[in-house]
Structure 1
Amino acid sequence: VSIESFLSNVKKALAEGENVYIRGFGSFITKKRAAKVGRNIKKNTAVYIPERYIPSFKPAKEFTEEVKKLKSSNIEVIKED
């Protein structure tokens, strides 16, 4: 399975209101953004922005810890005399 087809399937699932969970990697979810009133600064008018859903990714705890561990093992300390 190619990355493109995987991402296509994730997009389709999110568009259908489903969440995608990958054990040890993370979760692809949608988050609801509330409706609000914004400003059109060019015309100085109020603009209604309707509620919407945005895609979001939350890394799994194991994934985050592994990245931190790998990153800390690759850090070089440079000391100036």
Structure 2
Amino acid sequence: MNKNDLISKVAEDAKLTKGEAGEAIEATLANIQKALMQGDDVRLVGFGTFSVGQRAASTGRDPRTGRAIDIPASKNAKFKAGKILKEAVNG
């Protein structure tokens, strides 16, 4: 399912226009992104938790030359599925 498919399904299920559903989804995603940028977690009970993880700096290898390269520390977005979502997917 891509974003347009999701917008269509939300519009249908919530009895909204595709435009309204698209705006709602865009606003939801933007607010999740803003919260993560501020270092906050977003917990949707039963669905899951979006959070920011830290990746430590490390040394890697250039696959073409074999030369060591420094990989800087970085942050990454993470998602951990909640119990209800896990059960729905597995059951």
Structure showing the higher strand proportion among its residues: 1
Give the whole-Å Cα distance in 2 for the aligned partners of 1:68 and 1:3.
26
> Which 4+ runs in 1 deviate beyond 6 A?
none
**TM, length-normalised to structure 2:** 0.67
Task: Return the match for 2:54 from 32, 38, 41.
Answer: 32
**TM, length-normalised to structure 1:** 0.74
Tell me: higher relative CO, structure 1 or 2? Use CA pairs within 8 A at least 6 residues apart: 1
Query: Which residue identity is paired with 1:56?
Result: K
Q: Aligned residues, how many?
A: 69
Query: Can you give the 5+ residue segments of structure 2 that lack an aligned partner in the other structure?
Result: 1-22
Higher CA-based Rg:
1
1:20 aligns with 2:29: no
Q: Percent identity?
A: 38
